[in-house]
Amino acid sequence: MGIDRAGLAVFLRGRRELLQPEDVGLPRGPRRRTAGLRREEVAALCHMSADYYTRLERERGPQPSEQMIASIAQGLHLSLDERDHVFRLAGHQPPPRGAGSEHISPGLLRIFDRLADTPAEIVTEVGETLRQTAPGIALVGDAMRYTGPARSRGYRWFTDPAARALYVPEDHAHMSRTYAAGLRALVTMRGPGSRAAHLADLLLARSEEFRSLWEVHEVGIHLDEVKRYQHPEVGRLELNCQTLVDPHQAHRLMVYTAAPGTESYEKLQVLTVIGAQSLAPSGAAHSEDRS
């Protein structure tokens, strides 16, 4: 399957011109004359250099990799059909759909983009964080930096003692039961060849605590709506967690809030400031940008 450079360029330009700044959580500004988003804005959303993205729109440069096309599809807020189309234009077979997909739906992204001042994250059904707001990173750390099975928060819970440091000790036992029960339900639902089954096998080999919980065959154990944190900078926090589920992609948007007037509410405002201050200018680009 070869790349259709002209078709890819036309499609990218068309999708960029249809997107408005407010669609992706950007300020419009008083002097904007561009139809839709600017190329440099799209490049930043796709985590690549403006020069690399511009070359694609001008039918130049090397064939983009599957990873690059996936990043472009997400940055342009493409639907699954549009994602598959741009993969084929770039000369690649589209990734599979369903529970294992990491492509976030445009609707879920639009909601997420409007939560810049709130701790929020989008996670897969096995607890892999796909997106975090800056306050979300200030609350629980950068969960997107992990690779391999450690991307799953449940896997980290049983294999990395540091994963428990943020939560009050008296909640640890219930959280362990919740992670084990949730994974067992997923393994039954998705089958022996699934990501959930692979994680269960790894944990059975690595964690005695997980093995003991797995043998109980519990399901239907859930985390409390109020989550209690022991944050290293602001101390004790009690936050409500509201969850919005995308049934087609099995992704969850999790939003953390505190009741106004409480001490946790004031501390959450402090974390929001910390998150804003920690944002660095987006200068990082994929390695393909240098080609």
pLDDT digits over 38-89, tens only?
Answer: 999 999 999 999 999 999 999 998 899 999 999 999 999 999 999 999 999 9
* Residue 278, pLDDT score: 61
**Sign of the CA dihedral 63, 283, 276, 17?**
negative
φ/ψ of residue 271, rounded to 5? -65, -35
**Residues ≥6 apart with Cβ < 8 Å to 261:** none
> Which candidate, 89, 12, 88, places its Cα nearest to that of 56?
12
Whether 106 contacts 248, CB under 8 Å: no
Find tokens 């807020």 and name the residue: 77
* Residue 281, pLDDT score: 43
List the chain residues with pLDDT less than 70: 276, 278-291
Distance CA 154, CA 149 (A): 9
**Residues ≥6 apart with Cβ < 8 Å to 245:** 251, 252, 253
**Residues ≥6 apart with Cβ < 8 Å to 68:** 48, 286, 288
